[in-house]
Amino acid sequence: MSNLQLDQNGQLRHFLSIQGLNRELLTRILDTAESFSTIGAQHVKKVPLLRGKTIVNLFFENSTRTLSTFELAAKRLSADVMNLNVRTSSTQKGESLLDTLRSLEAMHCDMFVVRHSDSGAAYFIARHVPSHVSVINAGDGCHSHPSQAMLDMLTIRRHKGSFPNLRVAIVGDILHSRVARSEIHALATLGTGEIRVIAPRTLLPRNVESLGVHIFHDMRAGLKGVDVVITLRLQRERMEGARLPSEREYFQLYGLTEEKLALARPEAIVMHPGPINRGIEIESAVADGPHSVILEQVSHGIAIRMAVMAMTMQIPVPEAKEAR
């Protein structure tokens, strides 16, 4: 099967999923992001790499953080950016996804950054855009959120150097988490020593072990000796079904507290893709504590998104000063 994300030379055409990308390509994304990471601290926070290009942030689902970091990334590359919250516009009037897309294509866009509530939506769009248009997946259903995974990888690499000796635990609603799926693929591709998932069975996909993870239902056992703890947002709407009895019980069993974190390695870092539900999946003392790198993740998000935008548009990027 041909890889929709790559062109015939193996270069990135679209950025839809971590699956299908090899370690070299992921490392190049991280290195490219490194080269962009200082731009935010400069007096003029812009480089002219995408000058004259038009990028449309096509968000069928609400998101403040992801939308703003993609917008900022595009602007720092000097692209023209248009944000479309499609939830409140044409699709409400019955227009199909494809018709929305074609109307936008007629405005001669160069890139779509797509967020959608259905798994596979970004693939569908990538299959239907003209050959000169790139698509970046900003989160589709429960499937994939590759830029979030890569910013997490950048954060981990900055703190831990490399992946093979690491033990990483992902805690929470794995079943509905596109972030978790992408992180698992990214960690595995980068050769992480051990990937653990910690959750009750109701929040784990069946056959999740086929993704190459070790399953823990007991959080204390799962955290023992880990270098990285990634806590996931508990989607409150999941509480209404029969998946969990209460927030109180969830916090007691799976909430990240200082006491539970003490089981991890002393220099362990704590991550969270945000937004945080304090007192449900993580306590404030941990979210704001010395192990937390949550705000760094946000900063890295801009650099990663600049990197994938430049790479999918196949713009040569200056070498990173500290590329690893």
Partner 1 sequence: MRTTIRGGHLIDPYNKIDGLQDLYLAEGRVVAIGSAPEGFRAEQEIDAQDQIVCPGLIDLQARLREPGQEQKGTIATETLAAAKGGITTLCCPPDTLAIIDTPAVVDLIAHREAQYQRTRILPLGALTQGLQGLQLAEMGILREAGCVGVSNGLMPIANSQVMRQAMEYAATLGITLFLYSRDPWLGIEGCCHEGIVSARLGLAGIPETAETVSLARDLLLIEQTGVQAHFCHLSSARAVRMVREAQTEGLPISADVTAYHLHLTEHDIGEFDSQCHVIPPLRSLRDRDALHEGLRDGTFSAICSDHQPHEFDAKLGAFPITEPGISGLETLLPLSLRLTQDDTLTLAEVIAYLTCQPAQVLGIEGGHLAPGQRADICIFDPHCHWTFKPEEMASQGRNTPFGGWEFQGRVTYTLLEGRVVFAAADETP
Please state the residue numbers annotated as binding site for carbamoyl phosphate: 65-66, 115, 145, 148, 274-275
What is the C-alpha to C-alpha distance for residues 309 and 12, in angstroms, rounded to an integer? 10
Q: Residues with Cβ < 8 Å from 41, sequence gap 6 or more?
A: none
Distance separating alpha carbons of residues 210 and 229, to the nearest angstrom: 21
Encoded tokens for 297: 């993740």
- Choose one: 67-75, 120-128, 162-170, 277-285; the region binding partner 1 (CB under 8 A): 120-128
Binding status of residue 93 toward partner 1 by CB under 8 A: no
Residue 68: both structure tokens together: 């703003």
Q: 308 and 12 in contact (C-beta within 8 Å)?
A: yes
Segments of 151-259 assigned E as strands: 167-171, 194-198, 214-216, 228-231
Using CA atoms of 116, 138, 273, 10 in order, give the dihedral in degrees to the nearest 10: 140
In contact, 292 and 270? CB cutoff 8 Å:
yes
Q: Write out the binding residues for partner 1, residues 128-157 only, by CB under 8 A.
A: 140-144
Minimum Å gap between C-beta 122 and partner 1 is 9
| Closer by beta carbon to partner 1, 42 or else 117 | 117
Site string for partner 1, 11-40 (x = CB under 8 A): --------x---------------------
Q: x/- contact string, 160-189, with partner 1 (CB under 8 A)?
A: ------------------x--x--------
Which residue's CB is nearer to partner 1, number 206 or number 321? 206
What mask, x for binding partner 1 by CB under 8 A, covers residues 234 to 273?
A: ----------------------------------------
DSSP 6: B
- Point out which residues bind partner 1 (CB under 8 A): 1, 4, 19, 96-98, 116, 118-121, 123-124, 140-144, 178, 181, 205-208, 210-211
